[in-house]
Amino acid sequence: MFWWRETVTGRDGRSADVAFTDRTGGVSSGRLGSLNLGALVGDDPDAVRTNRATVARAMGLAPHRLAFMHQVHGNRTIRTTAAGSGEPQQCDGQVTDVPGLGLAVLVADCTPVLLVDVHAGVVGAVHAGRPGMTNGVVDAALDEMAGLGADAPQAFVGPSVCGRCYEVPEQMREDAARRSPESRAVSWTGTPAIDVASGVVAQLRSRHVPVTWVPGCTRESDRLFSHRRDHGEGRFAGVVVLRERADRGA
């Protein structure tokens, strides 16, 4: 179920759980087997609900406390205060200061970014594909967190398609490199390519945000969904949950 998972603990007892799922441990079948979390990839809606509930419970949440986005490859970031009420909003980043509310970002090659400031009590989840990286979705999310009082966030960058596997036209590579020179890459066959995660990491570090970069290439690992490898594949997720101080409400 989990590709990687960790708990971040602050000095005051507040903490945050961060995790990236893989494709194992769910009920979806066929090309979407088995832990598909995407609702727009042709899967049985009941299977998706079951899979999402499974992840929520594994993160210590009731299923209705896990908030998803309708991701559109933009840079809009919103403040999320509740989950499970109506259709998800169109955005590619969400932040919250509500303890016990899980934020999820869905990916199948794009770069999932989880942001945590346990001292300020603010967390975020960001969908950073090539358009998001070039249009500043990471900066937008950091700015939104700052508006809630975050001044020392740290970032967790999850598995995504690596630069060697993301072949693109040369002009597209140069357009991305103008935004983040670190994203310029060369594919396995020597053709132009983009390393979105490298660009994202560079953007985070330019904001003096410490980064934990979780290894893994979606196209190279069968444990991860990859749209570039298998068109129409499912989605895995990055999930972050802020936990309240142990003494709060005691």
What the block records as the tokens of 165 is 């596997």
For the stretch 154-186, pLDDT in tens is 999 999 999 999 999 999 999 999 999 999 999
CA angle 240, 246, 250 (to 5 degrees): 130
Question: How large a percentage of the chain has pLDDT more than 70?
Answer: 97
Task: Break the chain into its structural domains and give their ranges.
Answer: 2-243
Taking residues 194-200, what's their average pLDDT?
Answer: 98
The answer to whether 150 touches 144, Cβ cutoff 8 Å, is: no
Q: Are 38 and 69 in contact (CB under 8 A)?
A: no
Residue with tokens 């909003």: 89
CA–CA distance, 209 with 159 (Å, rounded to integer)? 18
Average pLDDT for the chain: 95
pLDDT at 44: 97
Look up residue 160 and give its DSSP letter.
B
pLDDT 10s digits, 74-119: 999 999 998 876 789 999 999 999 999 999 999 999 999 999 999 9
Distance CA 92, CA 48 (A): 20
pLDDT digits (tens, 9 = 90+) for 111-157: 999 999 999 999 999 999 999 999 999 999 999 999 999 999 999 99
- Indicate the pTM of the whole model: 0.96
Q: Is the pLDDT of residue 12 over 90?
A: no
* Separation of first and last alpha carbons in the chain: 33
Tokens coding 243: 């936990």
What is the assigned CATH class of domain 2-243?
Answer: alpha beta
* CB of 122 closer than 8 Å to CB of 114: no
Cα–Cα nearest to 18, from 115, 143, 140? 115
